[in-house]
A and B are shown apart, each in its own frame.
Chain A
Amino acid sequence: MSLGQDASGEWVLLSYRLPREPSTPRTAVWRKLKRLGVAQISDGLVALPAGPRSREQLEWVGEEVIDAGGTAAIWLARPATRGQGERLAAAMAAARAAEYQSVVAAAHQAAASTDPADRVIALRRLRSELRGIRRRDYFPPADLDHAEAAVQALASADAAEEAAAPAATELAAAELAAAKETA
C-alpha cells in the first residue's frame, strides 16, 4: 500500500439523511457515492481519505442531498485506532480489487473474440472503465497491475496483428503520405 494514502491519517466523512420517497434522488446520490468509491461506515455515513479533491466531491454530494430535501454534513475525522482506519482502507481496496478483476475477465474474454472490431470496441470500453476505477482507487491493490496488463495485452495483440497484415500497413502508409501532402 505504499502508493496509496495513509489509512490512519485524516478522513473526510459525509453524514446524510434523505427521505425514503421519492426514490430518484436517493438512487442518484447512491450512484454518485459509488462512483467516488466511498467506504460505507454505516447507514448514511460514508468516508474517503481526506484531500482537497475528495472533500470537495463529498461536499457537492452533500449539497445535492440538501437540494433534494434531506440533511447532510461534512466532517474531518481521524480514526481513534490504527486498526479502524486500516479496516476501512482494506474494505475499499477489496472493492477496487473486485472491479479490477472484472476488467481482467472482460479483457480475456475480448481477446478470445475472433472479430477484430469487437476487440477494438472492448478495448475502448475497458480503457475507460479502468480509468474510472483508478480515479476512485485510494489504496491500489495488486489487481491494478493485472488489470492494466490485461488491457495492454489486448491493445498489443491488435497492434501486432495490424503490423502483420499487409493491407493494413499499405493503408497506413497511404494515410501517412496523404497527411504529409496536406501538411
Chain B
Amino acid sequence: MRWATRAGIHIDRAACAWLICRHLDSAAQFVFVADPGEIPADATAFDIGGAELSHHAGDCSFEVILRRHDLTDPVLWRMAAIVHEADLDDERYDAPEAPGLDVVLRGLSLIRSDEEVLRLTAPVFDGVYEFFRRAILLGGEPA
C-alpha cells in the first residue's frame, strides 16, 4: 500500500511511519508531498491537513492512528505520550523524554532526506518500544 504525508519529517510523521510499518502494513511505501493537493489518489494520507489520520481533537496523528486502528498496546500509548509532547508540547502528558527525542528528529531532518530519516529512525523507535515494553513488564526501568 502507498501512504502519503507532508514532506519535512519530524517526530510525529516519523513515529507514524514506524507505526504503520510495524502494525498496519509491513510493505508500506511512503510518498512525501509539499501540498495536500499532491496526494496520489491511491495513497492513504496521514499527518497532513485534511486527512482523517491527522491531528484531531487535540490528538497528534500518532494517537489518532492508534485510536482509529484500535491499537491498545500500553507500550504504544507510552510512546504516544512522548510523540504528543514532542510534537505539541501542551503538557497533556508527563513525558520528559520528549524534548530530547524532538531535538534528535529535528537535527536529522536538517541533514538527511525524508526517506533517510525514516530509515534511520525505525531502529530508534524499535529500541524505544523495547525499552518501554521491558519497563512496563518489570515495573521499573530496564538496566
Interface residues of A (CB under 8 A from B): 28, 32, 35, 52-53, 56, 59-60, 62-64, 67, 131-132, 135
- Would you call B90 and A63 a contact (CB within 8 A)? no
- Would you call B55 and A60 a contact (CB within 8 A)? yes
Main secondary structure of the interface of A (DSSP, over half): helix
Residues of B within 8 A of A28 (CB): 58
- Would you call B8 and A67 a contact (CB within 8 A)? no
Interface residues of B (CB under 8 A from A): 6, 8, 10, 49-50, 54-58, 88-90, 99
Beta-carbon nearest neighbor of A31 in chain B: B90
Known interface pairs A63-B54, A64-B55; A35-B90 also in contact (CB < 8 Å)? yes
- Would you call B49 and A63 a contact (CB within 8 A)? yes
* A121 vs chain B, min Cβ distance (A): 16
Residues of A within 8 A of B8 (CB): 52, 56
Main secondary structure of the interface of B (DSSP, over half): loop
Known interface pairs A35-B90, A52-B8, A135-B89; A59-B57 also in contact (CB < 8 Å)? no
* A111 vs chain B, min Cβ distance (A): 25
- Would you call B49 and A59 a contact (CB within 8 A)? yes
11 A-B pairs within 8 Å (CB atoms) are namely A28-B58, A32-B90, A35-B89, A35-B90, A52-B8, A56-B6, A56-B10, A63-B50, A63-B55, A64-B55, A135-B89
Residues of B within 8 A of A53 (CB): 10
Beta-carbon nearest neighbor of A131 in chain B: B99
Residues of A within 8 A of B58 (CB): 28, 64
- A62, B99: Cα distance in complex, Å: 24
Residues of B within 8 A of A32 (CB): 90
* A52 vs chain B, min Cβ distance (A): 5
The 3 A-B residue pairs whose C-beta atoms are closest, nearest first, are: A60-B55, A52-B8, A59-B49
- Would you call B49 and A67 a contact (CB within 8 A)? no
Residues of A within 8 A of B57 (CB): 67
* B15 vs chain A, min Cβ distance (A): 15
- A53, B10: Cα distance in complex, Å: 9
- A48, B138: Cα distance in complex, Å: 45
* A48 vs chain B, min Cβ distance (A): 15
- A50, B88: Cα distance in complex, Å: 18
* A13 vs chain B, min Cβ distance (A): 15
* B133 vs chain A, min Cβ distance (A): 23
Residues of B within 8 A of A35 (CB): 89-90
Residues of B within 8 A of A60 (CB): 55, 88
